[in-house]
């Protein structure tokens, strides 16, 4: 087909790349496209077994990535994009689908399976066109396609494989290699679009844009005008994997004859609502559910259905209709049922310092580990095997020998007590304080109050509470861990170059303050916290403390606040009852002159309060405080004279908001 100019057709439109891949960003930027990047939160967990061909899996994943961003933006970013682009790259060899390796061993498994062979690289791409309607609802039109490129690898020696793996390059790349960099050494030939291997089939994308903007305008318009009748028949939520497969076939809308017909192009219209309107979930599920019902009704005689991997499962009913339980549904429900076991296994392994042990002495067998952690052989073996199944440990078995264990990357990065981003202290806090509290959740829900008294005996209450030295140190370690993980993201969320002095209220060990001084050379930060906290700070001082960070002891609810032109409140407000929130905000407002800043960092709930689960689950601990959305925080701060200048929803554990005193 003759290609016409297309990139200019997108000028003036809000184009969003729903991808965290630096390569996709680079490819599209080099093509002259202007766009925003909003990485998708869609987890790449569709059940591959449910797709007839590998490209269908890549296309469906790309579709879900793009739709997740298209649906999130009106709520979280308070704007509706015109176009959202999602992509997913996979490698297939010998009937297997290879994605990004989870660790070095996985990379080895992938690369050795590619050695000396030709394989296919598929990139699925989804283009979601968003149409805001007059009633503020949004229609989504979906165009998807895929591109295949064949790549042949040379025979690779073990040394070559490990040298390449140890370069670190494979880890965030489909199939475990980057053809554009060191991975290029491994490749004998490429048949097809090179950029498709790198992560984005630019040429095919431009051809699709050409079809959309230069040929199909009228057909798209006519499809769009059908949106009302289709609006209630397509799910507003990502379908489960089997639904995904079915809706793939069922909701494609045949187009009028046009140049588009020669392309594998289909359109799906999915309505949702902008923030002012609740998403109509209930009444918009029917088409794919309907398809499910139809497709399963023929199985109702023997009350068993076959899943794609030949497993047989009983039928279940949904709203009076008999439907198949999908593998995805069953996995999800088991995950929820067993979640508490996984958490407790993690807390226990962390408390027994298993990850520290296997870091200093990788390759121990279960008996050796049991001896070191002074635990039973049987219990240790169960714990080690559970940790392997959870992806925290790796085990290797040599012929006729017992398996030996070492940390998986996740444990090395987060679970060692001396890792830069260690969560060891936070896990101890979860184990000692949150676990007993949550085991009284039923009463907490019935009574709507914290269950501290019930959860802890008098002695334990003392140890668990922050009034004992032990409890205080444990709590400080937990806060220190979270501040280390989130600190850089919060400190760099906004341009703070106009501020010279900041005060981190309840800044605990100063971990966040040090991130701020590191990110902003002209800034000094005072950490203001209770005297007992400041006293214990010596345990957390960095090796080379920045002298622009100082500590002042005091109670932010009672004492005069240190003078500053930026106040920082990180993870404070959600834990305070309303009256204390107002006392604190009034004190900050009094200390501020016009133009002073207030940087708030919390988990911001979605505006419809449907997520994120982290925030909503935290609320179940029934502390005296509450979880709020960004808008709720904005209004709260506005009532104390602070105008919200910027809101940043981050991919880290906390979000951030910068407000200015009017």
Ligand X SMILES: O=c1[nH]cc([C@@H]2O[C@H](COP(=O)(O)OP(=O)(O)OP(=O)(O)O)[C@@H](O)[C@H]2O)c(=O)[nH]1
For ligand X, the closer of residues 19 and 227 by Cβ is: 19
- Distance between CA 21 and CA 298 in Å, rounded? 43
Position among 15, 46, 87, 502 found at the interface with ligand X (CB under 6 A): 87
Sole window of 83-91, 301-309, 412-420, 498-506 interacting with ligand X (rule: CB under 6 A): 83-91
- Distance between CA 339 and CA 520 in Å, rounded? 40
- Distance between CA 525 and CA 366 in Å, rounded? 48
Q: In whole angstroms, how close is the CB of 47 to ligand X at the nearest point?
A: 16
For ligand X, the closer of residues 114 and 581 by Cβ is: 114
For ligand X, the closer of residues 23 and 474 by Cβ is: 23
Sign of CA dihedral 620, 622, 623, 626: positive
Q: Using CB under 6 A, which residues numbered 26 to 55 contact ligand X?
A: 39-40, 44
Position among 10, 14, 20, 322 found at the interface with ligand X (CB under 6 A): 20
Sole window of 75-83, 139-147, 192-200, 215-223 interacting with ligand X (rule: CB under 6 A): 192-200
Of 35, 126, 28, 129, nearest to 86 (Cα)? 126
Helix, strand or coil, per DSSP, at residue 504: strand
Sole window of 18-26, 306-314, 344-352, 411-419 interacting with ligand X (rule: CB under 6 A): 18-26
Catalytic: which of 47, 82, 88, 103? 88
What value, to the nearest 5°, has the Cα angle with vertex 602 and ends 532 and 333? 115
Site membership for ligand X, residue 25 (CB under 6 A): no
CA dihedral of residues 234, 235, 240, 246 (deg, nearest 10): 0
Q: In whole angstroms, how close is the CB of 122 to ligand X at the nearest point?
A: 10
- Distance between CA 613 and CA 606 in Å, rounded? 10
H-helix or E-strand spanning residue 460: helix 458-464
- Distance between CA 211 and CA 134 in Å, rounded? 27
25 is written with which tokens? 């960003």
For ligand X, the closer of residues 98 and 570 by Cβ is: 98
Position among 63, 71, 173, 649 found at the interface with ligand X (CB under 6 A): 173
Site membership for ligand X, residue 169 (CB under 6 A): no
Site membership for ligand X, residue 197 (CB under 6 A): yes
Q: In whole angstroms, how close is the CB of 54 to ligand X at the nearest point?
A: 13
103 is written with which tokens? 């660790």
Site membership for ligand X, residue 183 (CB under 6 A): yes
Q: Using CB under 6 A, which residues numbered 576 to 615 contact ligand X?
A: none
For ligand X, the closer of residues 193 and 529 by Cβ is: 193
Which residue lies nearest ligand X, judged by its C-beta?
Answer: 199
- Distance between CA 86 and CA 24 in Å, rounded? 10
List Cβ neighbours of 558 (8 Å cut-off, separation of 6 or more): none
The count of residues in the chain is 662
Site membership for ligand X, residue 120 (CB under 6 A): no
Of 98, 69, 72, nearest to 84 (Cα)? 69
Site membership for ligand X, residue 100 (CB under 6 A): yes
**What separation, in Å, do the N-terminal and C-terminal C-alpha atoms of the chain show?**
58
Q: In whole angstroms, how close is the CB of 333 to ligand X at the nearest point?
A: 26
605 is written with which tokens? 């709930």
Site membership for ligand X, residue 241 (CB under 6 A): no
Q: Contacts with ligand X: how many residues (CB under 6 A)? A: 24
H-helix or E-strand spanning residue 549: strand 549-553
- Distance between CA 68 and CA 653 in Å, rounded? 19
Position among 4, 115, 180, 224 found at the interface with ligand X (CB under 6 A): 180
Site membership for ligand X, residue 111 (CB under 6 A): no
Site membership for ligand X, residue 220 (CB under 6 A): no
Active site residue 88: yes
555 is written with which tokens? 């109670």
Site membership for ligand X, residue 148 (CB under 6 A): no
Positions annotated as catalytic residues are 88
Can you give the binding site for ligand X, defined by CB under 6 A?
19-21, 23-24, 39-40, 44, 65, 87-89, 100, 172-174, 177-180, 183, 197-199
């Amino acid at each position: 087909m003759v290609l016409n100019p297309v990139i200019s057709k997108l000028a003036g439109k809000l184009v969003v790349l729903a991808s965290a891949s630096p390569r996709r960003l680079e490819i599209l930027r080099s093509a002259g496209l202007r766009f925003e990047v909003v990485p998708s939160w869609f987890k790449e967990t569709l059940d591959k077994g449910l797709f007839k061909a590998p490209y269908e899996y890549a296309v469906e994943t790309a579709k879900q990535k793009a739709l997740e961003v298209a649906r999130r933006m009106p709520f979280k970013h308070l704007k509706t994009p015109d176009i959202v682009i999602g992509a997913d790259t996979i490698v297939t060899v010998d009937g297997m689908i290879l994605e990004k390796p989870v660790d070095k061993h996985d990379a080895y498994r992938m690369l050795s399976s590619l050695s000396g062979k030709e394989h296919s690289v598929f990139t699925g791409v989804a283009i979601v066109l968003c149409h805001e309607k007059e009633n503020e609802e949004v229609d989504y039109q979906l165009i998807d396609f895929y591109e295949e490129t064949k790549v042949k690898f040379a025979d690779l020696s073990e040394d070559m494989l490990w040298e390449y793996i140890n370069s670190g390059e494979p880890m965030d790349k489909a199939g475990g290699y980057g053809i554009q960099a060191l991975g290029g050494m491994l490749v004998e030939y490429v048949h097809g679009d090179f950029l498709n291997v790198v992560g984005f089939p630019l040429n095919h994308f431009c051809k699709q844009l050409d079809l959309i903007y230069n040929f199909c305008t009228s057909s798209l318009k006519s499809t769009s005008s059908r949106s009302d009748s289709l609006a209630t028949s397509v799910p507003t939520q990502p379908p489960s994997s089997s639904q995904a497969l079915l809706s793939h076939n069922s909701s494609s809308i045949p187009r009028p004859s046009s140049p588009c017909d020669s392309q594998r192009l289909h359109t799906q219209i999915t309505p949702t609502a902008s923030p002012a309107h609740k998403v109509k979930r209930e009444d918009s599920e029917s088409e794919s559910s309907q398809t499910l019902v139809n497709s399963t009704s023929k199985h109702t005689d023997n009350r068993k259905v076959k899943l794609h991997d030949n497993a047989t499962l009983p039928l279940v009913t949904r709203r009076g209709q008999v439907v198949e339980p999908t593998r995805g549904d069953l996995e999800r429900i088991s995950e929820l049922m067993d979640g508490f076991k996984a958490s407790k296994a993690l807390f226990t392994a962390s408390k027994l310092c298993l990850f520290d042990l296997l870091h200093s002495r990788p390759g121990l067998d279960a008996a050796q580990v049991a001896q070191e952690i002074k635990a039973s052989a049987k219990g240790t073996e169960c714990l080690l095997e559970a940790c392997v199944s959870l992806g925290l440990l790796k085990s290797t078995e040599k012929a006729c020998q017992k398996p030996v264990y070492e940390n998986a990357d996740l444990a090395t990065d987060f679970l060692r007590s001396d890792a830069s981003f260690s969560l060891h202290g936070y896990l101890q806090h979860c184990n000692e304080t949150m676990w007993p509290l949550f085991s009284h959740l039923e009463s907490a829900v019935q009574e709507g109050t914290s269950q501290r008294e019930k959860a802890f005996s008098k002695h334990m209450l003392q140890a668990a509470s922050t009034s004992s030295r032990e409890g205080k140190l444990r709590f400080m370690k937990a806060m220190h861990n979270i501040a280390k993980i989130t600190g850089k993201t919060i400190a760099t969320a906004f341009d703070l170059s106009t501020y010279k002095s900041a005060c981190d209220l309840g800044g605990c060990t100063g971990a966040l303050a040090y991130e701020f001084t590191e990110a902003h050379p002209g800034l000094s930060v005072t950490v203001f916290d209770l005297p007992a906290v400041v006293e214990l700070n010596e345990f957390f001082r960095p090796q080379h403390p920045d002298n622009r960070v100082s500590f002042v002891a005091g109670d932010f609810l009672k004492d005069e606040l240190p003078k500053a032109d930026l106040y920082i409140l990180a993870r404070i407000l959600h834990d305070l009852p309303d009256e204390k929130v107002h006392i604190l905000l009034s004190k900050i407002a009094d200390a501020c002159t016009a133009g002073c800043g207030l940087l708030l960092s919390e988990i911001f709930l979605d505006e419809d309060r449907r997520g994120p689960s982290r925030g909503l689950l935290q609320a179940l601990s029934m502390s005296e405080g509450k979880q709020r959305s960004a808008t709720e925080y904005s209004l709260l701060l506005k009532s104390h004279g602070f105008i919200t200048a910027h809101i940043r929803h981050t991919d880290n554990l906390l979000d951030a908001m910068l407000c200015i005193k009017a």
